[in-house]
Structure 1
Amino acid sequence: MQWLMCPVCREQLELNARTWRCQQGHSFDLAKQGYVNLHVVQHKHSKQPGDTPESVAARRAFLSGGFYAPLRQAVEALLQQYQPKTLLDIGCGEGYYIQAMQAHVVDCIGVDIAKSAVQHAAKTNPEVTWVVGTGAVLPVLDQSMEICTSLFSPIPKPEILRVLKQNGLCLVVTPAPQHLYALREQLFDEVRPHEPEKFVAQLSDAFELLESKVVDAPLVLQQQDIQNLLAMTPYAYKAKPEKRQALEQLAQLDVTASFQLYLFKKM
């Protein structure tokens, strides 16, 4: 698979031994874990962009408990239905979802801005091409992907349009209105429903909406699960410290995770 794009000159990268190189001579070595870092310094806005190692570790621990398995299964079902061959996962994190998606495509690329997340992900599935990179300059060639996926990640619309083939697909997963409502009630004085439909409006001028589905996952969380879930969400730092501490001391919490899936086609 030679779908990667040089982040410096935008030429095609080719893998030779353990180095990705373009015709202009820019080269990027594979790390020992098996990923390549294409997040060049001129595209960086901080020293350690993306999720912190602590957040990555908490998410890995939480997802390994199978709590979000219904979502992963729903994503797999869509891939089985539409059968794309090339897939780019934007914001792949530690690889929980893309590990499952890879089994349903021919070529699979996972990109995330958080180096610590990609370092872990690269150990999980050597069949995926793992990349540290930014959504602002997706590290793949023009019109090379049949589907882009963004699960709880930003949606860089111009870049998605650039890398998708004609009639290519874009899968967006975002919190449904009632996502983790019981948990948020514990954290905030006022709880507002999530507004997933804003993404439909954002993409409507360039994409046709093919599928819209809500997947619910009832959860029974023990204390460590609650702490891990908090650490991997933005709720943790938005809540008052005393409310977060009270929630983290609960022995058990019953809550429903609710996911909105949108599948779009590039027009």
Structure 2
Amino acid sequence: MTLNLMCPVCRESLTLQDKTWRCSNRHSYDQAKQGYVNLHVVQHKHSKSPGDTPEAVTARRRFLTAGFYQSLQQEIVAVLQQLNIQSAIDIGCGEGYYTQAMAEVIPDLIAVDIAKSAVQIAAKQDTQKQVVWVVGTGAILPVQDQSLQLCSSFFSPLPKVEMLRVLKSKGYLLVATPASLHLYAMREALFDQVKVHEPEKFISQLQPEFELIEQHLITDDLSLNQQQLKDLIAMTPYAWKAKADKRAVLEARDQFKIQAQFCLYLFGKVQ
């Protein structure tokens, strides 16, 4: 495995020595017992516990482990297999559901998330230590310039300037976003007014530096029991955006049928 980590303080390369990551300027970062490294330094933090709450992370882990978004996970792997990617970073990796599948086809894989609780779970689940797990921010990706072939971001921010910096000249970007009708029935139950998602806006935001190569629409009809419905709500921003009374009514349902709809985009870095 070729490692491309960058010191978040001085931007020099990091090397792993006796479970401590060190740079030439003697900045050091200990590797936690779960196997991750925290490169989210204090001067880059805007809150004490940034990112998803531990409750949201746990709910998402239960939901995804049940296999509900497996079709998207499989499509991600299928796209990667045709590209022969050797090095990549997964931005906003969460608890690692998609990252772990990527690791089966990408030998040099770094995963970063701002939520420490999510990275802890991801690293602990990675018993084969296939991925370099990092607590960090997409605003300053802890990776050296032009060192990777691919950036991925699934339902996470798209730090355009940083992605352009870390990608090689013939690099790729893989993005998953909610499609227009993603979880529409759930949003109808939680809010007085519902707008359809506009996934196409990501295409215009990324141009002209990234060129769209291909896109996929993945649709899944889900039948959820009460606990699975609660987990789905808890893992989304709707958990804190919705009115408490509407959420309580929805969570009282024993069964709930809903459609998940995703857009998966593959972009190429424009030369």
Question: Which TM-score tier does this pair reach, normalised by the shorter chain?
Answer: over 0.9
Equivalent pair of 1:2/1:12 in contact (CA under 8 Å): no
Equivalent pair of 2:107/2:130 in contact (CA under 8 Å): no
Q: Deviations over 1:102-121 (max 9, x none)?
A: 01011011100000000110
After TM superposition, the structure 1 = structure 2 runs for residues 152-171 of structure 1, keeping only pairs within 5 Å, are 152-171=155-174
Q: Could you tell me how far apart the structure 1 residues matched to 2:84 and 2:261 are?
A: 25
Q: Could you tell me how far apart the structure 2 residues matched to 1:170 and 1:76 are?
A: 14
Q: Structure 1 unaligned segments of length 5 or more: list them.
A: none
Counterpart of 1:151 in structure 2 is 154
Q: Could you tell me how far apart the structure 2 residues matched to 1:192 and 1:19 are?
A: 48
State the Cα distance separating 1:236 from its structure 2 match: 1.5
1:211 aligns with 2:222: no
Q: Deviations over 1:190-237 (max 9, x none)?
A: 211001111101011101100111101110000000000000001121
Identity of aligned residues (%): 61
State the Cα distance separating 1:20 from its structure 2 match: 0.6
Task: State the Cα RMSD in Å.
Answer: 0.6
Counterpart of 1:235 in structure 2 is 238
Counterpart of 2:187 in structure 1 is 184
Equivalent pair of 1:91/1:153 in contact (CA under 8 Å): yes
1:202 aligns with 2:232: no
Question: What SS is found at the alignment partner of 2:43?
Answer: helix
Question: What SS is found at the alignment partner of 2:234?
Answer: helix
Counterpart of 1:41 in structure 2 is 42
Q: TM-score, normalised by structure 1?
A: 0.99
Question: What SS is found at the alignment partner of 2:223?
Answer: strand
Counterpart of 1:95 in structure 2 is 96
Q: Could you tell me how far apart the structure 2 residues matched to 1:236 and 1:190 are?
A: 16
State the Cα distance separating 1:76 from its structure 2 match: 0.4
Question: What SS is found at the alignment partner of 2:103?
Answer: helix
Equivalent pair of 1:2/1:15 in contact (CA under 8 Å): no
After TM superposition, the structure 1 = structure 2 runs for residues 14-163 of structure 1, keeping only pairs within 5 Å, are 14-125=15-126, 126-163=129-166
Equivalent pair of 1:93/1:114 in contact (CA under 8 Å): yes
Equivalent pair of 2:3/2:108 in contact (CA under 8 Å): no
Q: Could you tell me how far apart the structure 2 residues matched to 1:206 and 1:44 are?
A: 28
Q: Could you tell me how far apart the structure 1 residues matched to 2:41 and 2:7 are?
A: 10
State the Cα distance separating 1:2 from its structure 2 match: 2.2
Q: Could you tell me how far apart the structure 2 residues matched to 1:203 and 1:89 are?
A: 17
Count of equivalent residues: 267
Farther-moved stretch of structure 1 (222-231 vs 189-198):
189-198
Q: Could you tell me how far apart the structure 2 residues matched to 1:252 and 1:69 are?
A: 20
Question: What SS is found at the alignment partner of 1:213?
Answer: strand
Q: Deviations over 1:5-35 (max 9, x none)?
A: 0000000001111011001110111001100
